[in-house]
Amino acid sequence: MKIGSKEWSQVIIDGAREFDLDLDRHHTDLFAAHAAELLHWNKVINLTAITDPDEIAIKHFVDSLAPAKLISSGAVLLDIGSGGGFPGIPLKVVIPSLSITLIDASRKKVNFLQHVIRTLRLEGIAARHIRAQDLAGDPAYQRHFEFITCRALTDLKSFVHQALPLLVSNGEIIALKGRVDQAEVEAVRYFIPDDQSDLEFNHGPFFPAVETYQLPFSQSKRSIIRIRKITQAINNIS
């Protein structure tokens, strides 16, 4: 199967339909341009271990669309550790009204992300070479984002620690993972952040919601972990 072919595009359209999304060739043409650049740059930068066109369609693009229905139109979203642009760029393609910031600790990967944004002529999306904890030190971004996403993260607790200072009150963390260890989820429930940016608020307890699904056209089981930042001003606590 060739990237951008009718068959390749149909796999994404049919897969997205499993998430109640109606896509057309406009969307898949943008995905094809992204995929072509991904493979081209992957020759010199380690962007992905997935190089088969069929698997790229399913495991990168379709999988990135799993949380689309959970994200409000026009929301301000941060994607941490964007790497090859997943899930941030596919989400921008299907929800153009989103205002998205992609961040990654690798300068080379950020260069790639900026190139893809220009190639796809996307507006309202930017890529920055910065770590989440450093972004949280910028007052302009503290309590700024309504949604924060991350895909294939290794440690949920660390991700929550990085995301909380950047999230607005009642904002939502959306973590995309494979198998989820229940102990890992429970460790987040009563997690108390030790950062200094939100001292005026009392966090938690958190109530992570775990939704599981089978990736279309695959035997792979996936999970979406949703954590809402519920805050209460300390001086209002009796």
Domain of residue 67, residue span: 6-233
Spatial CA neighbour of 175 closest among 153, 191, 192: 153
Residues in the chain: 238
Inter-residue contact 53 to 35 (CB < 8 Å): yes
In a domain, 238, yes or no: no
Taking only the tens of pLDDT, the chain with its 238 residues reads 899 999 999 999 999 999 999 999 999 999 999 999 999 999 999 999 999 999 999 999 999 999 999 999 999 999 999 999 999 999 999 999 999 999 999 999 999 999 999 999 999 999 999 999 999 999 999 999 999 999 967 688 888 888 989 999 899 999 998 877 777 777 777 665 555 444 444 455 577 888 999 999 998 899 999 998 876 544 433 3
In a domain, 113, yes or no: yes
- Amino acid found at 156: L
Inter-residue contact 47 to 84 (CB < 8 Å): yes
Q: What is the CATH number of the domain that holds 188?
A: 3.40.50.150
In a domain, 127, yes or no: yes
Burial label for 75, CB within 10 Å (0-12, 13-18, 19+), is middle
Overall number of domains in the chain: 1
In a domain, 1, yes or no: no
In a domain, 101, yes or no: yes
Burial label for 190, CB within 10 Å (0-12, 13-18, 19+), is exposed
87 vs 68: CA distance, rounded Å: 10
In a domain, 190, yes or no: yes
In a domain, 99, yes or no: yes
In a domain, 31, yes or no: yes
